[in-house]
Amino acid sequence: MTSTPAKKPVALPAAATAGIIGALAVTAVGAVGVRDALVSAGAIGGTSWLEWLFGKASVLKPVDWMIPAGIAAILIGVWFLIAAVKPRKTTHLAVGDAGVWIRYRDAARLATDTATTIDSVTAAGTKARRHRLRVTATATGNASQVRDDLTAAIGQRLQTVTPLPRVRARVTVEEN
């Protein structure tokens, strides 16, 4: 057993999509190159696609659409560069210092479980968003008191979670 802490769970890098698209483009260019090499060697019949392409490119003259296309190509390149160095998002919450991680939805389940332990709460549910838990409870009694009790109890239950999600509680008073 090693005593090194577990790695922080993170999302896919932003450059993953760009990398896949780039890999497919390079594969396609390579396939065209192999085909043209086979045509040049006489292994297969047909005309060279690259000769045709370079023949068309040699007669091109500047046209109005080329400036916006060049600007778009530069912007796409800058986006690729930013995506390559952009840090990955954290997908889990740390529990203590032991290298234990939970998902946001697991924190929501803990919040729901904690809410149902409060005496005046008859039903509870929690929705998790990034760094935020929204608790909806049905209760008997004073709604503001139950809301305060909910917030305190959930804060106590999740005190070891880092970063501590913001808890918003909405209490509906049950009619008898």
pLDDT of residue 89: 87
Instruction: With beta carbons less than 8 A apart as the criterion, state whether 171 and 143 touch.
Output: yes
Confidence band of 133 (pLDDT split at 50, 70, 90) = very high
pLDDT of residue 69: 94
Instruction: With beta carbons less than 8 A apart as the criterion, state whether 121 and 113 touch.
Output: no
Range(s) for CATH 3.30.300.30 in the chain?
Answer: 93-173
| Domain spanning 93-173: CATH superfamily | ANL, C-terminal domain (3.30.300.30)
Dist CA 115 CA 106 (whole Å) = 14
Kindly report, residue by residue over 156-167, the tens digit of the pLDDT.
999 999 889 999
pLDDT of residue 7: 79
Dist CA 17 CA 22 (whole Å) = 9
Kindly report, residue by residue over 1-44, the tens digit of the pLDDT.
566 767 788 888 888 888 898 899 999 999 999 999 999 999 99
**Site of tokens 């160095």:** 85
pLDDT of residue 116: 93
